[in-house]
Amino acid sequence: MMRVAIIGGGAAGLMAAATIHEDDPSVEIFFIERNDGLGKKVIISGGGRCNVTTGIPDVKTILTKYPRGGKFLTSAMYAFPPEAVEAWFESHGVPLKTQADLRVFPVSDDGHDIVRAFEELFALSNVHILLKTSATRVEKRGDEFFVFTKESPGPIVADRLVLTTGGQAYRHTGSTGDGYAFAVALGHTITALAPSLNAFFTSETWSKEISGLSFERATITARRDGNPKFTGPFLFTHKGVSGPAVFALSSIVAFEPYDAANPLEIAIDLFPDLTTDDLRAKVEAVATANANKRFDNVLGLLIPKSLADIVVDQLGISKTKSANQVAKKDMARAAAWLKAIPLHVVQRGAGDEFVTAGGVELSEVDPTTMESRVCPGLFFAGEILDVDGFTGGFNLQASWAAGHLAGKSITR
């Protein structure tokens, strides 16, 4: 009888264990998890609602949503695409819903239901769930793996080992990065690591005056090599900016160094579908139509009034001037500012690190099986790999797909 040890009870580990168990119930699985429950990060993802996967049906399109690792995920994603993930959860008693923004959630809006599906599957099975158990080191002797834990005097011995320990994000859920040490001990290389999917804290403090103000569509550009940009929703916060477009851009610039001494300049275009000249003409037209109104109130017809107040403040335009008293060049300056709101990012938003960029070097893992190329019998899935996606269910989808492929490869 085959014995499999899985270290890390997150999404990838859960799906790997479920796939192995459903393909071959005789396999004995030892599930090693340092928390007091499975799927801690799964439960809190999507604000506790658990953004299970994406509603985008086309796998080719989905693979473009990973700044790192999209090509590597190709086999896994085609073998277990979002529709298969949805079918799996539905068949395990978790009805799902797809929102207008194509994010998929449990109908209950409760991440606990996603984890409960696995717990019920494992309840009467050959899956030994070892909670509050911390793996301290791993060794391979001959064809067997030895997993040593803090809590047990002797090692767990297994024929196959699956590392699904996550990255370093959300450290309070147990993702402390010790899986990297296990990978290195078994001959693997770890790439540079950086937080991704984080908010931006800025040196400018005016954002706190409009904290919570959100926009459905803006283009945010980073003034660094290649001027990477992303278009999508974002919001102003007490300390800067956040939201899906910011998270996406943060993952693209995950390895860019920036701080107070060397800030990352960004520009926010609130009117991505208009040229600067178009917007200037629009401002002038509204000003002409409301010639006797104060200019900040006129701007408030095009953008939220709270932001209009900041525009005139930042540009030094008098608040008492009516629209017909404001020079055309000042209207042009206002339009240009709204097309490229200048901000200086001095810090990554602490605690918002949903994902770790970097991880196990992908050339050392077979993408068609998730098995190590340097240590036969060792498999990887999830965030421990140098794979990360944008927000919107893509990281969980990658974990389900890679975990499923690792499980299939083990029972094959």
What is the three-class DSSP state of 149?
strand
Give the tokens for residue 239. Answer: 């300390």
**pLDDT grade for 350, boundaries at 50, 70 and 90:** low
Structure tokens at 374: 């340097």
Sequential DSSP letters for 102-144: SEEEETT--HHHHHHHHHHHHHTSSEEEETT--EEEEEEETTE
pLDDT on residue 174: 47
CA distance 180 to 359: 7
Q: Which pLDDT belongs to residue 28?
A: 97
What pLDDT shows up at residue 169?
A: 58
In the numeric block, which tokens belong to residue 97?
């819903």
Using alpha carbons, list the distances in angstroms from residue 97 to 61, 179, 183, 232. Answer: 20, 33, 37, 22
Sign of CA dihedral 293, 297, 298, 301: negative
- Please check whether residue 229 is in contact with residue 221, taking contact to mean a CB–CB distance below 8 angstroms: yes
Distances (CA, A) of 53 to 62, 66, 77, 84, 234: 11, 14, 12, 10, 21
Gap between the Cα atoms of 262 and 361, Å rounded:
29
Q: What is the mean pLDDT of residues 275-303?
A: 96
The domains located in the chain, with CATH, are: 3-194+353-411 (3.50.50.60), 198-352 (no CATH)
The contacts of residue 153 (CB under 8 Å, 6+ apart) are none
Mean per-residue pLDDT, 359-374: 98
- Calculate the alpha carbon distances from 194 to 165, 191, 241, 260, 325 in Å: 16, 10, 19, 18, 50
Which residues are 195's β-sheet partners?
356
What pTM was estimated for this model as a whole?
0.90
pLDDT band at 353, cuts 50/70/90? low
DSSP percent split of the chain into helix, strand, coil, nearest 5: 35, 25, 40
Q: Mean pLDDT across the stretch 171-196? A: 82
Distance, in Å, from the CA atom of 302 to the CA atom of 295, rounded to the nearest integer, reads 11
